[in-house]
Amino acid sequence: MDKWVYLNNNFVLEKQAGLHVNDLAIQRGYGLFDYLKTINNSPIFMEDHLERFYFSAEQLRLPVPISKSQLEIIIHELISRNGIPDSGIKLTLTGGYSPDGYNITQPNLIIAQHPLQLPTQEAVENGIKLITYEHQRQLPQVKTIDYLMAIWLQPLIKEKGADDVLYFFNDVVCECPRANFFIVTKEDKLVTPAQNILKGITRKKILENAGSFGLAVEERDIKIAELKTAKTAFICSTTKAILPVMQIDDIVFDKSDKEIIQSLNKNLEFLIADYPKQIAATG
C-alpha cells in the first residue's frame, strides 16, 4: 500500500511526492534532515530529534516553515495515517526552489515514514567489521544530506568484507557516516570523540545514563593508535541502537567482553520503552 508523505503543507501519497528539479538539494546538495524511530506507534526521543532538526536548520540558515508543536502534530498524523507501528520517520529540509540555482529561498519540507531497517541478528550478536578512512565531514555538527563520501565508499567497504567505514582525520577518530563511535578501555571506561562529529541522540542517552550503572565516560579525542589498546568498541545510532564492533581494519577485539555492551543496550531499551510513559506523564 502506498504510504503518506507530508510535503510542505500537504499530505500526499508517496508516489506523488516530488520536488522540482530547481530545488537546491538537487542543484547544490544543500539540505538537512533528522531521523527518529517509532516503536509501537510512539515516536522515540522526539524532543531531542526536533531540537536537533531546528539546530541543523539554523546552522544551514534555512528557516523551518512551521513550529515544533506543529511538527509534532504532523508526525502523529503521519503515524496514524500510515499504520507502521515500528518505523523510521525522516524529516528533510532542502534549500528550496532557487531562481538563480545558488541562493537560498523558501525551503521545502518533507516528512516521510518507512519500516525500520534493523541490523541483522548476526551483527547484534557477533558485532560488525569497520574499515578506517581519512575524511572529515564538512559542517560536522549539522545533520546535512551530504553523504557523498559514504555512498562513494560502499564498493570499498564491500571489497574489504566490512560493514561500514570509520572516518578519521589527522590521526583522530571521528564517526561512522550514520553512527557514533565508542571504545571501552581496559579500565572499563567509555570514551567517545568530543568534536568534529554529529552528536547523535543515542550517543547522548549513553553519555547521560552510563554513570547510573557505574560506568565512567570521557568525551575526548581518540587517536587511531589508541584503537588497538581498547578492550572493545561499539557504534550507536537510532536505527542500530548499540552494535558491537568485532574488528577495525586488522584489529580484532575479544568477543568475550560483552558485558558492558549488553548493559548499555539493556539500559537503552529501558529508556526507549519508558519514553512514551514519561511523555504521557509530562505532556
Write down the least CB distance from residue 134 to its own copies, Å.
11
Q: Based on the shown chain and the rule CB under 8 A, indicate whether residue 145 belongs to the binding site for its own copies.
A: yes
Q: Judged by CB, which is closer to its own copies: 29, or 65? A: 29
For residues 133 and 140, give the distance between their C-alpha atoms in angstroms, rounded to a whole number: 16
List the one residue from 69, 155, 187, 212 that touches its own copies (CB under 8 A): 155
d(CA 142, CA 54): 10
Burial class of residue 105 in the structure, from the number of CB atoms within 10 Å of its CB (0-12 exposed, 13-18 middle, 19+ buried): middle
Cα 58 to Cα 100: distance, rounded to the nearest angstrom: 22
When asked if residue 21 is in the footprint of its own copies (CB under 8 A), the reply is: yes
Q: Give the interface size with its own copies as a residue count (CB under 8 A).
A: 46
Q: Is 104 in the site for its own copies (CB under 8 A)?
A: yes
Task: Show the site string, 107-126: x = touches its own copies by CB under 8 A, - = not.
Answer: ---x-x-x--x---------
User: What are the residues whose beta carbons fall under 8 Å from the beta carbon of 151, sequence distance 6 or more?
Assistant: none
**Residue 44 binds to its own copies (criterion: CB under 8 A):** no
Residue 204's nearest CA partner among 271, 132, 137 is 271
Other beta carbons within 10 angstroms of residue 145's beta carbon come to 16
* CA–CA gap between residue 173 and residue 262 (Å, rounded): 24
Residue type, 28: R
Interface region with its own copies, contact rule CB under 8 A, candidates 38-46, 87-95, 159-167, 194-202:
87-95
The correct pick among 139, 216, 252, 273 for binding its own copies (CB under 8 A) is: 139
**CA pair distance 32, 53, nearest whole angstrom:** 8
Burial annotation 211-249 (CB, 10 A radius, 16+ → b, else e): eeeebeeeeeebebeebeebebbbbbbbbbbbbbbbbbb
Identify the residue among 3, 4, 19, 193 touching its own copies (CB under 8 A): 19
Measured from the CB atom, is 42 or 94 closer to its own copies? Answer: 94
**Of the ranges 125-133, 152-160, 239-247, 270-278, which one interacts with its own copies (CB under 8 A)?**
152-160
Within 8 A by CB and 6+ apart from 86, the residues are 37, 38, 39, 40, 115, 116
Contacts of its own copies in 53-72 (CB under 8 A): 60-61
Q: Does 283 bind its own copies (CB under 8 A)?
A: no
Segment contacting its own copies by CB under 8 A, of 67-75, 120-128, 138-146, 254-262: 138-146
Which member of 18, 63, 83, 85 binds its own copies (CB under 8 A)? Answer: 18
Which of 8, 27, 209, 263 is close enough to bind its own copies by CB under 8 A?
27
Nearer to its own copies, 111 or 245 (CB): 111
Cβ 204 vs Cβ 48: under 8 Å: yes
157 binds its own copies (CB under 8 A): no
Q: Which residues bind its own copies (CB under 8 A)?
A: 5, 7, 15, 17-21, 23-31, 60-61, 90, 92, 94-95, 100-104, 110, 112, 114, 117, 135, 138-139, 144-152, 154-155
